[in-house]
Structure 1
Amino acid sequence: MSLEAEYNNRALVPDHPAVMQGWRDAAEAARAATPPLAIAYGPGPREVMDLFEAGPDAPVAVFLHGGYWQALDKDWFSGIAPAFLAHGVSLAIPSYDLCPEVRLGRILRQVRAAVEAMRARSGTRPVVFGHSAGGHMAACMLSEGRAAAAVAISGVFDLAPLISTSLNDALALDAAEAAALSPIHWPVPDGSTPGGTVLDCVVGGDESAEFLRQSRMMAELWGGRGVETRYDALPGRNHFTVLDPLFDADSALVRRIVALVKQ
């Protein structure tokens, strides 16, 4: 299979519109049941995050959404908040600007600002988890010492394979920029920095060979350098249904993230 086909998740999962509509429906229900607090972390219209608060002193996690840095926003993913609130964990979900209106490096700077805003609010580094592009950025936040731990779901950790695909029409990456923004080339968190040293790489067992390779490679690479890593391919899950466990307070994935938050 070509790289174009390996990374075109919407084409690989023909029923993705139905799955995404489920995200929308769950998000609307969650926002109606527990209206979030909107927090601006920058001056731009998309530099806003929703905070679903479990209590004034509750520990917090930050979820970074996917969309290949060129689609979606925070409002799609409010539906995962109830599962964390049920465990007494607050959840922040930021939006950010999208390519091609901004460069990917600009998005990373926005995510840094959002994570730092939650750190300033709570007084501790949050656990950061994310999906797809958000998985990439979660690993970046861990490398920089901004996260207490990171869970990357279907992450892209080496951006070089995207250069030859149509996804790069919006990203406009060249080899140098792709290498500079790929966390496989970034310093590993090693205990000498104040952040966490735990990275979970989760991926759907039915995802493309490239997505399986990316998560396995990242776990092995950073694990070999002293990071506490896990690689977990969830049986029967594709790039979209891999998020299903986040809607279930009793799922192993939610319980794992909660445990990292509360450790």
Structure 2
Amino acid sequence: MRYDDAFANGKYIEGAEAYPPHWADKAAQFREALGARARLSLPYGKGPRNWFDLFLPEGEPEGLLIFIHGGYWRAFGPRDFSHLAAGAALRGWACAMPAYTLAPGARISAITAEIAASLPVIAAEVAGPIVLTGHSAGGHLAARMVCRDIALPGEIAARIARSVPISPLTDLRPLIETAMNDDFRLDRAEAVAESPALLTYRSGVSIHVWVGGAERPAFLDQARRLGNAWACPVTVDAGRHHFDVIEGLEGSDTALMSALLG
């Protein structure tokens, strides 16, 4: 269909097929190394994928980073990306990673509602400020959580200090014209309602969009659309593509971690 190639990532990344097993291996090693500080499969709802993993630092957490995984809302899960909590833990922050029902089992609007429902439950586990982030489809969800139409308890909304969507999908209308829409079932009304770049965000939240400089033009465009719509910074991470742009989450002193936690 018209936009299939525009949103194809792996096709344009050398060795793309090696990334998912590499992520899964690193994630498993991280969970094992963390031991009891990895609290797994905590429920936030009744659905089979309504759970989250929570990774704790040594000592009392300074705050809570919530990372939402990508995969075009159709693939992967938190356990593929556990190692991305490493940087936050080294900085003394807890990191939670929620799962959600994958398309076509849920429409994107229903996935948004699941993540919104997870936030109060996750927030009850750790005190302090909350920073939201996510990659690709997860970047979309991290941005959606600070949109004005998302109803969160006042005390939870007040704790959300920052959202840093990484390579986010921010205008979903082009996805209607992709083969993936067989799973999404997006129509124009839902695409508009679920597009952060077409919505407004809650005041008092700091927004910083992050995207790889070597990403597909469509993803650079999607990042800049949100930056323009929300008048927020957009960092183009030179040389990074869609699969390695998240690696900055693994270190405590990377530029991406600084954008997240200061």
For normalisation by structure 1, the TM-score amounts to 0.89
> In the alignment, what sits opposite 2:188?
175
Distance 1:141 1:255, change over 3 A: same
1:76-110 deviations in Å (ceiling 9; x for gaps): 01011222111101100111110001111111111
Which residue of structure 1 aligns with residue 19 of structure 2? Answer: 19
Aligned twin of 1:37 = 39
Aligned 8 A contact 2:132 2:164 in 1: yes
Question: Aligned Cα RMSD in Å?
Answer: 1.7
Residue 226 of structure 1 corresponds to none
Measured in 1, the distance between the counterparts of 2:31 and 2:17 equals 21
Percent identity, aligned pairs only, is: 35
**In structure 2, distance between residues paired with 1:86 and 1:123:** 17
Q: Deviations over 1:114-145 (max 9, x none)?
A: 22212233345521000000111111111247
Which residue identity is paired with 1:88?
Answer: G
- Residue 95 of structure 1 corresponds to 99
Normalising by structure 2, what TM-score? 0.90
Query: Residues of 1 paired with 2:111 and 2:88: CA distance?
Result: 26
Is the contact made by 1:132 and 1:154 (CA closer than 8 Å) also made in structure 2?
Answer: yes
1:4 is displaced (CA, Å) by 1.3
SS in structure 2 at match of 1:3: coil
The whole-number CA distance in structure 2 between the counterparts of 1:245 and 1:171 is: 30
Equivalent residue, structure 2, for 1:210: 218
Letter in 2 for 1:148: A
Q: Distance in 2 between matches of 1:237 and 1:21?
A: 19
Of 160, 179, 184, the match for 2:197: 184
Given candidates 245, 249, 255, the residue that maps to 2:252 is 249
Aligned residue identity for 2:238: P
Match in the other structure for 1:220: 228
Q: Residue 171 of structure 2 contacts residue 192 of structure 2 at CA under 8 Å; is this kept in 1?
A: yes
Unaligned regions of 5+ residues in structure 2, if any?
A: none
CA gap of 1:59–1:123, structure 2 versus 1, over 3 A, is closer
Which amino acid in the other structure matches residue 204 of structure 1? G
Match of 2:238 in 1: 235
Any gaps of 5 or more consecutive residues in structure 1? 224-228
The answer on whether the counterparts of 1:115 and 1:126 sit within 8 Å (CA) in structure 2 is: no
- The residue that corresponds to 1:82 in the other structure is 86
- State how far apart, in whole Å, the 1-side matches of 2:65 and 2:244 are: 21
Q: Which residue of 2 aligns with 1:201?
A: 209
Q: Is the 8 A contact 2:61 2:93 kept in 1?
A: no
Structure 2 SS opposite 1:250: coil
8 A contact 2:142–2:163 mirrored in 1: yes
Q: State the SS of the aligned residue for 1:148.
A: strand
- Residue 54 of structure 2 aligns to a residue whose secondary structure is strand
2:56 equivalent among 39, 53, 58: 53
Q: 1:144-155 to 2 correspondence within 5 Å?
A: 144=150, 146=157, 147-155=160-168
CA distance in 1, matches of 2:138, 2:174: 17
